[in-house]
Amino acid sequence: MKETTLIVTANEMLCEDACLLETEGDIPVFAPGQFAMLEVPLADRLLRRPFGIAEADGRSAAFLYQLKGEGTRALSRLKYGDRISAVLPLGNGFPVLSGKIAVVGGGFGVAPLLPAARACKAAGAEVRIYNGFASAEREFLSGLFAKAGSLTVCTDDGSAGYHGFPTAALEADLGGFFPDAIFCCGPTPLMRAAKRLGESRGITTYVSLEQRMGCGVGACLTCTCRAGGHNKRVCKDGPVFLSTEVEL
Amino acid sequence: MNTRVNLCGTELKNPVLTASGTFGFGREYNEFYDVGKLGGIVGKGLTPLPREGNDGVRIAETPSGILNCVGLQNPGVDAFIRDELPFMRSLGCAVIVNAAGSEISDYEFMAERLSETDADMIELNISCPNVKSGGMAFGVLPKSVEQVTAAARKHCKKPLIVKLSPNVADIADNARAAEAGGADAVSLINTITGMAVDLRTRRPVLGNVTGGLSGPCVRPIALRMVRSVYKAVKLPVIGMGGIMTAEDALEFILCGATAVQVGTANISDPMAAARIVDSLEDAMKKYGINDINELTGALAD
């Protein structure tokens, strides 16, 4: 991990509150599921923002982010050629497994699952992807996911694909596709559902947690989660945990 | 050009220390740069037994600042001495340990226990705003500042720094009380109690409702307090409060600090303390400072 300057090559709105920031720079090798802390281009904002690394090779990296507050709105104004400081790659990612892998994503949580699905597919896994969005207008990155495995898009309102939670779509498939592992990242209710499904069916389940972060490197102890009666650091001990390790 | 300073008998290669609670025990930042280049590091606040800290959201961002309510999560003094101190000691800079407690006897115990180690100095945390009992309770009234300092002093065989709270009537009175209790130095300021609220949910942002405010937004307050304390006591003063650059550090030294602590900047940028050290000589050159010691307290006010 290191602190480095990235140069913006594209900063594209995917839907009303989702943007994909594409950058170039000297990008260290990363494990799928690791994240980056990006500086916010506002002088009075001190905290970097944690984003999953959606795609990266040695020269480029892409980050999916949600327009949420002043900080991310300032990020969305970055243009081609602008410079931004990043700390990456951080935390522990998903394992790269062969066998049968179910990838379950929700909303902005799909970002770190893209490299995880790709890496498992490259390792010979049969990858099925269940990505959930609020509605058809809020769906993104499906073109890239479709190349990383067999994709089922799910929507909460039924406006596209499967009507319901992606965990429900996976559960409906279990008769024909019983995975060796589930990878999940998304809103807490979805991760709870994945934890419940995985643990009740005896499927090893990995969840990638999100928490308000300070330093992102494990020092400030602000992004904790409960694990076995103790606090663990989401940024350094996670963000990917075995579902059995953490309380959700 | 000289950047060396002597703090309570320990020579620091430069006056840049890290502030407790923002730097762990140095491990994480040592992956980014050689922490040994700093003047020293101050470890995360320790208590006699392990503490899990506060529940819920622990950090919020405010204009030019952050609020935190970690609540002294730490592995306890014994695990620290076993698992962390040897690493800190190996870094090649001064090692200051930060000790907190809930009762006078905790501070006595911590002073005694940490005096048996090879740490260079002990910083007494009587100003943590995020724990219910103790902590800041001792740091508010001058009388209790003197009492807890004197109690720790009796058991402490190392230089004793008392870290002062800004959430008091007159911080100079508390500095005098620490001096009367036998402190060897004072450090200031700890965070200023504040809060952030969410209009949408009508709830406080922080799980602990209130938290400690730090960052550049507190710097003018910290400078004023460092100046006031420098004039009130004969002890060396360690200044902190929103230091982001070498120039900020020099401002604190000008107001009377012998050394400074960098805190929130580490959270904002993992390279911050290293960058401050790296740019210190250039900043000194720019302002015609040949020996950093000549600047201490030299403000013409």
- The ipTM of this complex is 0.94
Chain B CB within 8 Å of residue A225 CB: no
Mark yes or no for CB contact B267/A2 under 8 Å.
no
Write down the mean pLDDT value for chain A: 96
pTM over 0.80: yes
Chain A: residue whose CA lies nearest to B19: A220
Mark yes or no for CB contact A215/B70 under 8 Å.
no
**Model confidence band, residue B152 (pLDDT cutoffs 50, 70, 90):** very high
The pLDDT assigned to B136 comes to 66
Domain that holds residue A55: 2-90
Mark yes or no for CB contact B32/A46 under 8 Å.
no
**Model confidence band, residue B134 (pLDDT cutoffs 50, 70, 90):** low
| pLDDT for residue B3 is more than 70 | yes
Residues A172 and A198 in one domain: yes
The answer as to whether A229 is a domain residue is no
Residues of B in contact with A40 (CB under 8 A): none
The answer as to whether A223 is a domain residue is no
Domain that holds residue B110: 5-54+71-198+214-294
The pLDDT assigned to B78 comes to 98
Q: What is the CATH number of the domain that holds B81?
A: 3.20.20.70
Residues of B in contact with A47 (CB under 8 A): 59, 61, 66, 267-268
Give the mean model confidence (pLDDT) for residues B26-32: 97
* Number of domains forming the structure of chain B: 1
**Model confidence band, residue B133 (pLDDT cutoffs 50, 70, 90):** low
- In chain A, residues 48-77 whose CB comes closer than 8 Å to chain B: 48, 71
Residues A84 and A140 in one domain: no
**Model confidence band, residue B138 (pLDDT cutoffs 50, 70, 90):** confident
Q: Which of B59, B70, B271 has the CB atom closest to A212's CB atom?
A: B59
CB A116 within 8 A of CB A33: yes
pLDDT in tens, A138-176: 999 999 999 999 999 999 999 999 999 999 999 999 999
pLDDT in tens, A68-103: 889 999 999 999 999 999 999 999 999 999 999 999
| pLDDT for residue A121 is more than 70 | yes
Residues A75 and A35 in one domain: yes
Please say if B8 is a catalytic residue: no
Catalytic one of B8, B69, B93, B128: B128
Domain boundary among A90, A113, A138: A90
The pLDDT assigned to B285 comes to 98
Give the mean model confidence (pLDDT) for residues B158-165: 97
Residues A118 and A151 in one domain: yes
Chain B CB within 8 Å of residue A4 CB: no
Residues A49 and A108 in one domain: no
| pLDDT for residue A223 is more than 90 | yes
**Model confidence band, residue B135 (pLDDT cutoffs 50, 70, 90):** low
Chain A CB within 8 Å of residue B20 CB: no
Residues A81 and A13 in one domain: yes
The answer as to whether B61 is a domain residue is no
| pLDDT for residue B137 is more than 80 | no
Residues A110 and A181 in one domain: yes
With a pLDDT cut of 70, the percent of chain B lying above it is: 97
pLDDT in tens, B73-98: 999 999 999 999 999 999 999 999 99
The pLDDT assigned to B127 comes to 78
* Number of domains forming the structure of chain A: 2
